Amino acid sequence: MANKIIKINLPNTDCKNIYFVNNDELFGSKEIVKTTTYISRDFRLIIRVTVINSSGIRLETKKGFSFSKKLTFLQAIKEAVSHREEIIKKLMSGEVKEQKTRIPTLKEAWEEYVELKRNQLSPNTINCYILVANKWIFSDDKLSKAPITQVTTRRLQDIVNKMLDMGMAPRSSKSIKEALRPLFKYYIAKGVLKSNPAVFIQIPKFNNEVSIELSNEKIQELYDLLYTYPVEPFRSIFVWLSHGRRLNEVLSLEWRDINIDTGTYTIRFENNKVRKPMTYKLSNELRETLENLEIKKSGYVFHAMKDESKKNG
């Protein structure tokens, strides 16, 4: 299983090409941006170096270094910088040979990419991608075992065409493109691929909009009915939805995301589409929904009826 690594990007610190091995998700974000004095355990840093030599040839290598938790984080980074400069010097002089990169199969590449993105994409998005991949892409054993460099647009288009021939909606077949395009982009950045075969997948045009024509009076009547719906937590969930929140944002809301004292709540980066924490004001209506619930220090606000450890829905 490939290491989960995240970029180190501390302010006013030389962290170029240095990554932290985050297999236990000690850091919950996609990069380390705040200085921490000590790491709570022994840790490893990965150095990735890419240079162009005097002959115009691109050379790259990767090397890991282990550090004791007794060493401060900044001291470890300084040591890593020293190692990085030494690696660059040896790479340019030819003392270090260009790292030979093993070409992964499509299935191996996918597993590495999913692990890399687990703390950057919402669980719903990750699970959706996995379901689509397992059902439509990796059900073809030959394609699964094909080196990623041999996966062509034609082979991917065949999958999409099969889905369309089975009567599936274009939106469903588009999920193949949405799942694979960033995967190939990632391997282009690593220098394994030169082009992205998923970009050229053809999907028929479609319109997901659903038009509901109601008079202003009917709309007001519908809102009144929902706002006075007698069954909780469904009435409260609708109130949150009427404040512009998406359903997954509401159902993923935890008590730790709510600050009663400041009158705000936060939608964490993993639960929204912009992939950064978003803080909003608690309106009187939202406060009222919280007062109807048993306020706790942790757990989901709108938890499942039979299992409070799971979110509703």
User: If we measure between CA atoms, which residue out of 276, 98, 112 comes closest to residue 186?
Assistant: 112
pLDDT at 36: 80
Confidence band for 58, pLDDT divided at 50, 70 and 90: confident
The pLDDT assigned to 186 comes to: 86
The pLDDT tens digits for 250-264 are 888 888 888 888 989
Q: DSSP 3-state assignment of 8?
A: strand
- Find tokens 């997901």 and name the residue: 208
For residue 74, what pLDDT is reported? Answer: 93
pLDDT in tens, 87-136: 888 888 877 655 555 788 999 999 988 887 777 777 777 888 888 889 88
Q: How confident is the model at residue 8 (pLDDT cuts 50, 70, 90)?
A: very high
Distance, in Å, from the CA atom of 200 to the CA atom of 286, rounded to the nearest integer, reads: 45
Residue carrying structure tokens 């409070």: 308
Position 207 scores a pLDDT of 57
User: What does the alpha-carbon distance between residue 1 and residue 116 come to, in Å, rounded to a whole number?
Assistant: 11
Task: Look over the chain and give the mean of its residue pLDDT values, rounded to a whole number.
Answer: 84
* pLDDT at site 187: 86
Q: What is the pTM of this model?
A: 0.45
Cα gap 176→172, rounded to integer Å = 8
Least confident of 64-68, 215-219, 253-257, 278-282: 215-219
Ranges of each domain in the chain? 5-93, 106-200, 216-291
C-alpha to C-alpha distance for 23 and 27, rounded to whole angstroms: 9
Smallest CA-to-CA distance from 25 within 113, 108, 117, 109 is with 117
For residues 195 and 141, give the distance between their C-alpha atoms in angstroms, rounded to a whole number: 23
CATH of domain 106-200: 1.10.150.130
Question: Is the pLDDT assigned to residue 298 strictly greater than 80?
Answer: no
| Interval 145-200: pLDDT, tens | 999 999 999 999 999 999 889 888 888 888 888 889 989 988 887 778 888 999 99
Write down the pLDDT at residue 312: 65
Confidence at 43, pLDDT banded by 50, 70, 90: very high
Residue 81 has pLDDT above 80, yes or no: yes
Residue 277 phi/psi, 5° resolution? -65, 135
d(CA 47, CA 83): 8
What span, in angstroms and rounded, lies between the C-alpha atoms of 190 and 102? 12
d(CA 126, CA 231): 32
Beta carbons within 10 angstroms of residue 82's beta carbon: 10
pLDDT classification of 73: cutoffs 50, 70, 90: very high
**Beta-carbon neighbour count of residue 171 at 10 Å?**
12
Q: What percent of the chain has pLDDT over 70?
A: 90
